[in-house]
Amino acid sequence: MKTLEETIKSFETCCLDGRDAVRLSDFVPEERLPELGISLFPDAIGKHVPKEWTRENIIAQLKEDVAFAFEKAIGHRGISSELMYDVIRMWNWILQEGLEDFDEYADYGIPLLKATALKYGFPDRSGEYVPEESW
């Protein structure tokens, strides 16, 4: 797994809305947030408490994000699916456990979501996806 330092130094957002950086910011000390392009609202300055940078915490966040991404993919939500695909790719890039180079985007990201769910024992909802050509 990448260290927090390695991650911050080599991170580049892939999301149009910076969603990956925002998710990552939950783990980054406040003084380092500008390195991710994140700034806090004035009333939040001095109050940001990052989650501990552990494999377990990263996987817990990944689990939440995979569940959310499945909702978007199953619902054929194009933009949201693409953004969450990039978030899942970021967590896999950080974890460095075999899915870091996964770059197949098809069916709203279902192949990556399925591979990630199976790898980490998350619920696999890929069977709920109905391709548009089946409608």
| Domain map (residue ranges) of the chain | 4-134
Say what the pTM is.
0.94
- Helices (H) and strands (E) counted in the chain, each on its own, are 5, 0
- Nearest to 114, CA basis, from 77, 69, 75, 82: 69
**pLDDT of 134 above 80:** no
Per the listing, tokens 């192949």 go with 111
Place 132 in a pLDDT band, splitting at 50, 70 and 90. confident
**pLDDT of 135 above 80:** no
The 10s digit of each residue's pLDDT in 19-49 is: 999 999 999 999 999 999 999 999 999 999 9
pLDDT for position 26: 97
- Nearest to 117, CA basis, from 67, 83, 82, 74: 67
- Whether 127 and 90 have beta carbons less than 8 Å apart is answered as no
Per the listing, tokens 């279902």 go with 110
